[in-house]
Structure 1
Amino acid sequence: MSLSHVRDLIRLHTPFSVPENLRIHTDTTQFMDIRAGDCIAVEGRLFYVKGEEFEGRFGLDGEPKFWVKRVVDLNDGSVKILKLAFLESFTMHLGEERIRCFRSPHKESRILERTAGDARFMQGITLYDEAHNPVRVIERIAGKTFYDMVHDLPMDHETYYYEVFPGLFTHLMKAFYAIKDLHQMGEIHGDIRNDHLIVEHNTGRYCWIDFDYTYEWPGQPYGVDLFGLGNILLFAAGKGFHTLHDLKSPRSPLHAALSTLREEDFSLFFPNRLMNLKKIFPYLRETLNKVLMHFAAGAEVFYESAHELMEDLEIAFRSFLWEVPHGP
């Protein structure tokens, strides 16, 4: 494809002026060098780079993810996300456990292939550049994160719990079943967070994104995913997280409950987060609180599979609604 034709495609499909020195990358190894206004050519496809996605992880908000590019597909003008190969690793601390976590672009590519057509998961394909780096071409989802959706609800907890949470719980059950199905394939999500669950604007459907993390936890192959689900359930049931720091504030309406709290009431994963929500919200159903307490520091038994978790969640769910939802 000639450079003049590429320039014509940029003018046709974007409102941006064409850079005088247009750069077309066929090797994405040095992704930091790929900037807005450049193009990426891979397996006969051509993408115009608009910029980078930004980190939503708490404490890193607003940090650009240089390996994740916002692009326009110059074939049809559609907006896509390109995830380029980026390798990193770190150690996660869970109680006394030390768990090695790392990025695996090939693992995400495999899950994209295995969940193709399943609307409960983000959709995309993998192409390979001239250096054989995997380039994941992701369909952009119009929606907001589960975190933002719940966080932005303008109501007190009791109103939320009785009027909003039962319907939200229905969608969460479907999303949790999706992870159970993923585990039954022998796969893991690897980074289950409140901002990795997207609520689509048009359909209200919940969709999991970002599968490139994996981990090594001998004897607990699904353990990190399960704690991630527990964390989302905690956030949903509590309409946010309730930390020891917040409860210690005399201005907190929940401050009076502070004297009743013990170390075993808090999360094993995040020791500052209260898991025993019934101590601050006495109207919380015992069946739901029981599930949360499996993730607390004082738990004697932890969930070892999504099947075990869903068995207890079904009991909790039936206390809100008559029917347990399955499937997408």
Structure 2
Amino acid sequence: MSAEVRELVRTYLPEFPIQYCKSLVTDTTQFMSIDYGHVIELGDVHYMVYKNEAERRFGLEDPKYWVKRCHELETGKRKILKLEFFETFPVQVGKFRVECYRSPDKESRILDIVRGDSRFMQGITIKDAAGRNVRVLEIVNGRRLDLTVDRIDVEHDVYFREHLPGLLRRYLEAVRAIGMLHRHGERHGDIRRDHLYVEHGTGNLCWIDFDYTFHSYEHPFGLDLFGLGNILVFLVGKANITVQSLEGMGLAERLEGRLSSDDLSIVIPNRIVNLRKIYPYVPEALNRVLMHFSNSAEVFYTTTDELLADLEPCVEALESEYGRKPE
């Protein structure tokens, strides 16, 4: 146990069990060895580590050992520290192969661009004693978009009339936020429904996690656009509806022989994009927007402005028919 850590804890966090205090960390290179009870020193500020963050997908937790949930000792605030970590992997989108990689410096650039913009998570970058990039992030006071939608316990037709118009109105602003990044020459890089939070109190949407980026010279913002499409399909369907899930929904018999590969996502092969075949009350204009992300699409959206130009009239039509309700 470090005497320096013990003294810091006694001063700033006296309720912390002293027996769990570990050493003071100034070089975060070996992030796998930094865990509960360590204190990370960045400049003149100290962060008590509580746990590693984890991504929760498909009912499983995937630990992110380079992301630490912390207590900022001098202020008492909760913070997230993202430590320097690199990885590279390919993504196949239809016939396009995209090289993705993690870039801490790119996330730092975006944090600078979006400072003060509530549509994005907020944070600063501090170098540790070894010159490693550490992003000190504010915790978003909200809930993931997908979990928020899951908690709307009504049938799809009621959801479509009473909840979807408000959600789509907020989604439009989230798309505009990504467009702002693109105008700065940056990409979000990892657009998913669990990287978009619904802020408590306001209901506004807030993007998190900007450290992925990708090389795609033919479609420089394509992966972001496909990510936006995946979220849109999820919102309209109130779920990700797959060929396999139709039976559980009681729709397999009705749709037998009516679905083809043209109705499926170009990104996720078993996901149904042609939602009008499942829910006939989905307007044709809105369904045409969804079909830009299907295997049958001959033209893809290449900018957020193109997506907004098609989608905004659809949202206005829903609001006109069902009323504009706060969500």
* Shared fold, TM over 0.5: yes
Change (3 A) 1:79 1:4: same
Q: In the alignment, which residue of structure 1 is the partner of 2:224?
A: 225
Matches within 5 A, 1:25-36: 25-36=25-36
Aligned pair 1:252/2:249, yes or no?
A: yes
Contact 2:181 2:187 survives alignment (8 Å)? yes
Alpha-carbon shift at residue 273 of structure 1 (Å): 0.4
Aligned residue runs from structure 1 range 279-298, under 5 A: 279-298=277-296
**Cα deviation, residue 11, structure 1:** 2.8
Corresponding residue for 2:135?
A: 136
SS at match of 1:70: strand
Q: Distance in 1 between matches of 2:96 and 2:57?
A: 22
- Contact kept in structure 2, 1:263 and 1:297, CA below 8 Å: yes
Runs of 5+ in structure 2 lacking a partner?
none
Residues 111-126 of structure 1: matches in 2 within 5 Å?
Answer: 111-126=110-125
Q: Tell me which amino acid in the other structure corresponds to 1:46.
A: H
The answer on 1:17 being equivalent to 2:17 is yes
Counterpart residue identity of residue 252, structure 1: M
Q: Give aligned pairs, total.
A: 318
Instruction: Give the conservation status (yes or no) of the 8 Å contact 1:47–1:71.
Output: yes
Alignment of 1:1-328 (within 5 A): 2-3=4-5, 5-12=7-14, 15-19=15-19, 22-58=22-58, 61-247=60-246, 249=247, 251-255=248-252, 256-321=254-319
Q: Which amino acid aligns with 1:30?
A: Q
Please provide the CA RMSD for this pair.
Answer: 1.6
Residue 43 of structure 1 deviates from its aligned partner by: 1.4
The question of whether the paired residues in 2 share the 8 Å contact of 1:10 and 1:48 is answered with no
- Cα distance in 2 for residues equivalent to 1:97 and 1:58: 26
How far off is 1:160 after superposition? 0.4
Shift of 1:321: 2.7
Task: Give TM-score scaled by structure 2 length.
Answer: 0.93
CA contact 1:10–1:16 (8 Å) conserved in 2: no
Q: CA deviation at 1:17?
A: 0.8
Task: Supply the distance in 2 between the matched residues of 1:20 and 1:267 (Cα, whole angstroms).
Answer: 49
Contact kept, 8 Å, 2:46 with 2:73, in 1: the verdict is yes
Q: How far, CA to CA, are the matches of 1:258 and 1:275 in structure 2?
A: 16
Q: CA deviation at 1:21?
A: 5.8
Separation of aligned partners in 2, 1:7 and 1:159: 52
The 1-side partners of 2:203 and 2:87 are apart by: 33
SS in 1 for 2:108: helix
Which 4+ runs in 1 deviate beyond 3 A? 1-5
Query: Which sits farther off after the overlay, 227-236 or 193-202?
Result: 193-202
- 1:124, distance to aligned residue in structure 2 (A): 0.3
Report the CA distance between 1:7 and its aligned residue: 2.8
Distance 2:21 2:315 in 1: 59
Change in 2 beyond 3 A, CA 1:229/1:111:
same
1:227-286, Cα deviation, whole Å (9 max, x unpaired): 000000000000001101112x2x432221232111111000011001100001000011
Distance 1:308 1:21 in 2: 54
Aligned-pair CA distance for 1:6: 1.1
CA-to-partner distance for each residue in 1:178-208, whole Å, 9 max, x for gaps? 1111111111100000100011112211100
SS at match of 1:320: helix
Opposite residue 45 of structure 2, the aligned amino acid is R
Q: Is the contact made by 2:20 and 2:37 (CA closer than 8 Å) also made in structure 1?
A: no
Counterpart of 2:19, as a letter, is P
TM-score (norm 1): 0.93
Contact 2:9 2:16 in 1 (8 A): no
SS in 1 for 2:166: helix
What's the CA shift string for 1:14-33, capped at 9, x where partnerless?
x3212366301000010001
**Is contact 2:13-2:73 (8 Å) kept?**
no
Distance 1:284 1:74, change over 3 A: same
Q: Distance in 2 between matches of 1:238 and 1:40?
A: 44
The CA deviation at 1:63 is 2.0
